[in-house]
Amino acid sequence: MLLELLINFCILFTFAVLSYWPFQDVARSTYPFPKTHPYIIGIIAGFAGFVLMQTSVQLSDTIKVDARHVIIIFAGIFGGPIAPIVTGFIIGLTRMLMYDVFTTSGFLAGLNVIILGIVIGAFSFKYPMTFKNAPYYFYYATAQTVLLISYLFYQYSGTLLQIVYFILFSTFSFFMVLFILIELSGHFKKIRHTELLAETDYLTGVYNNRKFQQLTRSFITDSTKPFCMISIDIDHFKKVNDVYGHPVGDEILKELGERLKNLVSPKEGHVTRSGGEQFVLLIPNFPPAMGLDLGEQIRSSVERSSFNVSNNQEVSITLSVGVSSYPDNGSTIHELYSAADTALYEAKATGRNRVFHYTNIKV
């Protein structure tokens, strides 16, 4: 009996970890076709439930128990409301058809799992299953299953001790796997946080130069469509720091980063800080004219709206903006950045608070 229980637990544990890794660990991987995830998880859990039934613990000639009701809970955690319904039907129908001869106990056991899947799935639509509330779903599933086992024991003979064994095994299996998944979740969050720190500017929260290099390289490698690079520099920013202090300068940099993200996010663009008061934007699927127009929108919006900083002060700044385009102005990161930087310095040289495209100043 102990060996069968151990095998059941190992099967449950394997399903939980292998399902969590690709479907929940967004920090490390992105599984394709997200709309199919609930059905895929439901099918995988249903297959795992079938394997669990093959290693069930035989409590009597007609009664077998395992962790099939527990696996429905984890299917709901991973796949949402649809997954436990799919899992319940697969396991339930399989249980009914496992033997050539129809048995009442087999039918009731299968029906019990189907009902569990439907009820848990239905409640999950209103109360989405999480690590925090999953124990309540487990208590319900265990209570319903215990009632069925008690009824079958009454019909076919059995002992109270066997029911206690089932409750203890189910409780141990569920909470042990839940604990491990919570630990995995915390581990993945720490990894993602570390990755974000490695690619994010510490002050403004936008991407740093390392991420800028990665994004530009991926745009060049993966896309045949044009994109634009917009280099932005705050005019006379040293004077702002001298007059208002560096803390106020930092506040302006943070707010400018937020404003830029709000302007380019709807266009699926990315904001990076290359250093000091200079930002570089990458906008996919933008031909030169659209890049120039967006640069002007950014320049004019900042000129019109002052920055509210500490001590209720309002600080007005202007921007000089240079734009380059792929593939017109270069086919490498260095060429595109150099072109945008040249256009930026042309804007500064002609009076600042201006926008230039590299193509328009090319000799």
What is the tens place of the pLDDT at every residue in 175-188? 998 998 888 888 88
Report the length, in residues, of the chain. 363
Inter-residue contact 343 to 337 (CB < 8 Å) = no
In the block, tokens 């127009």 appear at 293
Which residues are designated catalytic?
Answer: 277
Q: CB-hemisphere CA count at 13 Å for 27?
A: 14
pLDDT value at position 163?
A: 81
Q: Give the SS3 label for residue 5.
A: helix
Instruction: List the end-to-end C-alpha distance of the chain, in Å, as a whole number.
Output: 85
Residue among 45, 47, 27 at smallest CA distance from 37: 45
**Could you read off the pLDDT of 6-33 as tens digits, one per residue?**
777 888 888 877 777 665 654 444 556 7
pLDDT at 197: 76
Query: Structural domain boundaries of the chain?
Result: 2-197, 209-361
Q: Which residue has the tokens 């209570």?
A: 143
Question: Block means of pLDDT (10 residues each) for the chain, length 363 residues?
Answer: 73 78 54 78 89 74 73 90 94 82 81 94 93 94 90 70 82 90 84 79 91 91 85 95 93 95 91 93 93 95 92 91 94 93 94 94 61
Cα angle 344-348-352, degrees, rounded to a multiple of 5: 115
The confidence score (pLDDT) of residue 56 equals 74
pLDDT at 194: 78
Element (H, E) at 307: strand 307-309
Render the burial of 25-34: b for 16+ CB within 10 Å, e for the rest: bebeeeeeee
Q: Please tell me the predicted confidence (pLDDT) of residue 6.
A: 78
Q: Helix, strand, or coil here: 271?
A: strand
128 preceded by a cis bond (ω within 30 of 0): no
Hey, which residues does 229 pair with through a beta bridge? 282, 324
pLDDT of residue 61: 57
Nearest to 232 by CA among 190, 210, 264: 264
Q: If DSSP codes are grouped into helix, strand and coil, which group holds residue 171?
A: helix
Alpha-carbon span 212 to 234, nearest angstrom: 19
Was domain 209-361 assigned CATH 3.30.70.270? yes
* Angle (nearest 5°) at CA 53 between 47 and 56: 150
- Burial track 132-152 (b if 16+ CB lie within 10 A, e otherwise): eebeebbebbbebbbebbeeb
Phi-psi region of 307 (alpha: psi -120 to 50; beta: other; left: phi over 0): beta
- 260 touches 206 (CB < 8 A): yes
Query: Residue 320 forms beta bridges with which residues?
Result: 233
Beta strands 227-234; 319-326: pairing state: antiparallel
Domain 2-197 fold is Arp2/3 complex 21 kDa subunit ARPC3 (1.10.1760)
User: Whole-angstrom Cα distance, residue 95 to residue 113?
Assistant: 9
Q: Which residue has the tokens 């500490």?
A: 310
